Structure formats: structure tokens, C-alpha cells
Amino acid sequence: MGADSGPGAPSAVPWRKVLYERQPFPDNYVDRRFLEELRHNVGVRQYRYWPVVREASLVAQQLSCVAVFLTLWWYMYEGQLSPFMLLLAGLMSALLGYALYEALGGSTDGRRTRLADLQSAAIFLAFTFGFSPVLKTLTESVSTDTVYAMSAMMLLAHLVTFPYTQPSPPGSLSLNAALFGSVCLASRLPGALHTFAMLTCALLVFALWPCLLRRLRDRAEWGFPWAAALVSVGGVCGLASQSPGGALLLALALLVLILLCPLLLLWLQRHKNNIHGPWDEAEIREDLSRFLQ
């Protein structure tokens, strides 16, 4: 091995990237081929604007869902909407949604029968109806401000933890946060029936609607942006009828989410500089659990 300092004498032997051979180069020799295996941004996806906008609309519509739910609650709270009306509307939309769900799906998954669906719905409705007086008085000893703050926190947590890549079924944390927020809000309504109607509505908005949306995205791609737009417009309009300022804010937030955030992503993507090389830890891509099944 040559001396450590000074450039290696230009020799006829080319340098090789091996350790087992004593080469006539100093230990700190830097060859032309140094870092030749360096790769930049391997497997980085190149985004285009409109597909990103399309995906971003999912986030926007989820925000609008919360707005729709809050608007409904507001109407109930002010007494402008009777629980019968809400239940009726809920039943209608549930049946409509279920029909659409069945129409879009029905290919391979014959695992759940209609009877089983009906059974779950009946059990849920019965329990909620039975417990609604309890839920109504659950937060009586808590001050109203605390309840509002808590619901706001919970709905925010729902939005943050919502699994946007896999919207169905909503992640347990996200769904629980939303339902907890709904219970808090519903307990401030005037009667037990109001509470029951509100909770049923929460279930429709936060649990069943994402399932339908997922099915829509998978099976009828053209329908998905329309559905998202419909919910968004519905959210803004609904809020506008109660609080124009809030509606303006929501509209702005939606615009930023749908139009500006994708732009930002595209702009930042150009600055992405991820380096790869032989030093990277190899990934195990195979499914090795098959050996243990």
C-alpha cells in the first residue's frame, strides 16, 4: 500500500473498488469513479397538477362533511329542524346510498348478506335509541364552553387522523374522535329524540359516507370529483345560511386545499433530492409470512 500523502503515481493499473487487493494507491485516493453508484431520487413519483387536485378534493370534502354536520346540529339547536325531519332525511339518504353502494359493488365480495347489514343497523339504532336519554344527560355537569371546546378538538382530531389514502373504513381513532365529538354536541340539544337523530346523522356522515365514497372512487372514477364537489358546495351553502362569515372562511380553506396545496407540492417536488447508493439498507419486498402460514 502506498504512502498516505501525496497523489498516487499515475500507474498502468486501473484502480478497482476492492479491499482484498493491495493496490498502488494511497489510502485516501479518490478515483474518478468515486460515487459513480450514487443515484438521485430513485422511484420518486412525478406528479401532475390535475390528478393531485383530484386527490386533494378528498381532504376538502371531508372538511365539508364536518361543516355539513355542524350546520345540521346548528339547525337542530335553534329548533329550525325537527328530529323527525332529520331522521326521515337520514333514512332516505341511507337507503339511497345503500342502493348506490350495492349497484356499484356486488362483484366479488358476497361475504356480507343484506340481512346481516340490516341486523347491524337495527342493533345500532336500538342501542342508540335506548341510550339516548343517558347520552343526553351525560355531559350535564360539564360546562357548555368545555363541551364546545372538546367537540372542536375532537372534530379536528378526526380531520387530522382521517386515513385519506384508505378512506374505508375510517381509522378507529378518527371515527372514535368524530363520534365522541358528536355525542358532546348532541348532548346539548333540547330532547332525547334530538340526541338520537343527531347521532344517527353522525354515523351517516362520518362512518357510512366514507365507505360509499371509497366505493365510488374505486368503481366509478368519474363520479368521485362530482361527489366531492357536491359535498363541498353543500357544506359552504349550508354554513352560509347560518353564518356567512364562516362560509367565506370555509370556501377560502377549500380553495387553498384544492388549488394551492397541489401547486405547493409540485413546486417542492422539484427541490426533492433523495440520494441512494450501495450503502442503503436493502428492503425485504417479498411477503415472508407465507413461510409461516
Binding site for other proteins (CB under 8 A): 1, 3-5, 17-21, 26-28, 30, 34-35, 37-38, 274-286, 288, 291-292
Q: Cβ of residue 18: shortest distance to other proteins, in angstroms?
A: 5
Query: For residues 112 and 285, which CB has a smaller minimum distance to other proteins in the complex?
Result: 285
Expressed in angstroms, the distance from the first to the final Cα of the chain is 53
Nearer to other proteins, 176 or 269 (CB): 269
**Closer of 222 and 279 to other proteins (Cβ):** 279
Task: Please state the closest distance from residue 34 (CB atom) to other proteins, in A.
Answer: 6
Tell me whether residue 169 is exposed, middle or buried, using C-beta atoms within 10 angstroms of its C-beta: 0 to 12, 13 to 18, 19 or more: middle
Minimum Å gap between C-beta 199 and other proteins is: 40
CB of 273 to other proteins, least distance (A): 9
**8 A C-beta contact, residue 162 and residue 174:** yes
Please tell me the distance from the alpha carbon of residue 285 to that of residue 133, in angstroms, as a whole number.
53
Query: Hey, what's the cell of 100?
Result: 348506490
Q: What is the torsion angle, in degrees rounded to the nearest 10, for the CA atoms of residue 231, residue 232, residue 233 and residue 237?
A: 100
Cα angle 214-286-162, degrees, rounded to a multiple of 5: 25
Give the orientation angle of helix 172-186 with respect to helix 49-78, to 10 degrees: 30
Give whichever of 44 and 156 is closer to other proteins, judged by the CB atom.
Answer: 44
At closest approach, how far in Å is the CB of 5 from other proteins? 5
Nearer to other proteins, 23 or 64 (CB): 23
Rounded distance, CA 170 to CA 283, Å?
Answer: 29
